[in-house]
Structure 1
Amino acid sequence: MLSFWLSSGARAEELLGLCHGDYDFGEHTLVVTSKGTRNRDLIPASADAFVWLALYMREGQPASPGDRVWWTLHPKNRRPLEYAAARQMFARAQKKLGSNWTLHDLRHTAAERMIADPAFTLVDVQTVLRHVNVTTTTIYTQPRMEDVLQKVLEHYARPPQEAPGIEPEYDGAALRELLGLPE
């Protein structure tokens, strides 16, 4: 699930609602029920996520189209994995790792990774995230401090450029007078 959240930008509930038949291993796509519109939307995910899905499915019980993909692991009370249980599972992992992420932070991370990739346009990311307005997607365009620092260091490492001179075909004295420049 983690790989899908980090690569697809799917909302937690959208991925948890995934059913057998809602994925295409060949195209690396999922069909999710969108939060706001309740539309069935096609979204891409990484090849790695599909490898993990295949491994997960190999360990599980046979399933029919329409059955939920993600299930609790409790042997006596096996049921579809709901948001509260996924959040609790994620919180336990966070405690062991000493980190403080939410499931929604994974969607933000996916968006920030896509925006950082020069192959993606802002509209591409908007489409993957299924935002109605591109302005919603712009919240992910905040520069990372390490990138800004690197650009500043590169800026100061470049030799200063000479100011352009007056082209020979222009009357230099007239231009200096017009622009108020010293002789």
Structure 2
Amino acid sequence: MKEQCRDVRAIQLPRWGRVAADEGVVPWLVFDEEGKVVLPVRRFLIDFIARDNRTGSVRSYAYDLLRWWRWLRVVDVEWHRATSVEVRDFVLWLRAATKPRRSARTHSASTAGTTNPITKKTYLDDLYKPRTIRHSNAVLRSFYDFWIETGGGPLVNPVPLARSDRRRSHAHHNPLEPYRGEGRLRYNPRVPKRRPRQMPDERWNELFAALRSNRDRAILALAISNGARASELLGVRGVDLDWGDQLVRVVRKGTLAEQWLPASAEAFVWIRLYLAEGPPLDPQAPLWWTLRRRDHGAGLAYQVMNYEALRAVFRRVNALLGTNWSMHDLRHTAALRMARDESLSLRDVQTILGHAHLSTTADVYLVEEEAQVIRRVQEHLAEVKDRAKLPPPAVAGGYEASDLDVLFGGGPA
């Protein structure tokens, strides 16, 4: 069969279908252009959520599958007849295409893809990143694995493994050993390893001083003291505060387990100031509220603060300071501060950060800052230079000078 050659750079995906919330078993579904549910995706997502995956993961998978369905519509291939050629061309298209935007960039057009001179962080652009492509490949392989298992899909998964890993998954598996990854996907791009950066103290002081409310100061003070994620902090309720021991209870993002984390005394001071400004808080209600949203034109009303409102806080501060900080920078900063504290073990840092494996903490945060390494090497070179200028140490008595010259090469034998 002759392989079809496509000009992937000339392909533009249509605005076909949508992902929308649903009140059924599956919280997010893919709908076609006529508003009907895409049944193959729905059946897969039912199985996906039955395996105890979170709502956010369901939404992410739905968007990846919607993009795949749009691609199949353009190349005119039925979903159950897709081959590795379609997946290969899809990956090539993702590497060359730009993300669709509902509105054109305005003030961010000049900074997209550039590096901020203050934070040394790169601004996001409209290209699909390697992690996005790898996630898309993983979603498609999982989708087709489900349908191959049920007997309703293709005979061979169109998302192939790398040639060196083309063997039956878990063949001859030892039941006494844990299951491991089935191998690298063939069309997965390489992902450059990113090193976390610690926010300098002076930059942190600038960021904190630019905040406009005690609520924002309280949230950021909590984040910088224990490295909790944004979603974990936004889920805190009044009953999750232990004022006596200065602890805050969060629900971990991955495991959904409740965990008490220590917080700084300054963070609790800002929380107290924030609570004093508003109405009495129900201990069972969320802790963070905002008045910045209008209730259908009826004036200001209290609304539970969500992630988008927190992003708006950083947009305002970044516009003022000319930076591009994010909440995750505070998590990195807190983690690196703890990892470099000799009084804390790496196991302590792992527990506070909520990592499932100690290797994750070690690989990500047990790193040396380049600036500190350069400084120590410069001090070493200066010390070597100073030692070279010093006179040789005096020789202990009882030795003949001629014998020492022979021994150390100072004279003829």
Q: Give the TM-score normalised by the residue count of structure 1.
A: 0.82
Matches of 2:244 and 2:291 in 1, distance apart?
A: 28
Q: Percent identity?
A: 43
Q: Over residues 137-156 of structure 1, what are the superposed CA-to-partner deviations in whole Å (9 max), with x where a residue is unaligned? A: 12012211221122213323
1:150 corresponds to: 375
Max Rg structure: 2
Distance 1:119 1:99 in 2: 33
Amino acid at match of 1:21: V
Offset from partner CA, 1:119-166 (integer Å, 9 cap, x none): 121111101001010111120122112211222133231648x9xxxx
Amino acid at match of 1:90: F
Task: Look up the match of 1:177.
Answer: none
Q: Hey, what's the Cα distance between the residues in 1 that align with 2:226 and 2:279?
A: 25
Q: For 1:20-169, what aligned pairs fall within 5 Å after superposition?
A: 20-74=238-292, 76-138=300-362, 139-156=364-381, 157=383, 159=387
Q: CA RMSD in A?
A: 1.9
**2-structure distance, mates of 1:73, 1:155:** 56
Deviation at 1:102, TM superposition (A): 1.6
Name segments (4+ residues, structure 1) moved above 6 Å.
none
Q: Secondary structure at the residue paired with 2:304?
A: coil
> Out of 235, 241, 266, which is 1:17 matched to?
235
Distance 1:82 1:37 in 2: 21
Deviates more, 1:92-101 or 1:67-76: 67-76
Query: Which residue identity does 1:116 align to in structure 2?
Result: R
> Within 2, Cα distance between the matches of 1:8 and 1:73?
27
- Structure having greater relative contact order (Cα 8 Å, sep ≥ 6): 1
CA distance in 1, matches of 2:263, 2:367: 23
CA drift at 1:88: 1.7
Deviation of 1:84 after TM superposition, in Å, equals 1.1
Shift of 1:68: 0.9
SS of the aligned residue for 1:21 comes to helix
CA distance in 2 between counterparts of 1:141 and 1:100 reads 24
Alignment partner of 1:30: what SS?
strand
Normalising by structure 2, we get a TM-score of 0.38
Deviations 1:35-70 (A, max 9, x none): 111111111111111111111111121012111111
Unaligned runs of 5+ in 1: 163-182
Q: Structure 2 unaligned segments of length 5 or more: list them.
A: 1-218, 293-298, 393-412
Q: CA deviation at 1:9?
A: 0.7
SS in 1 for 2:239: coil
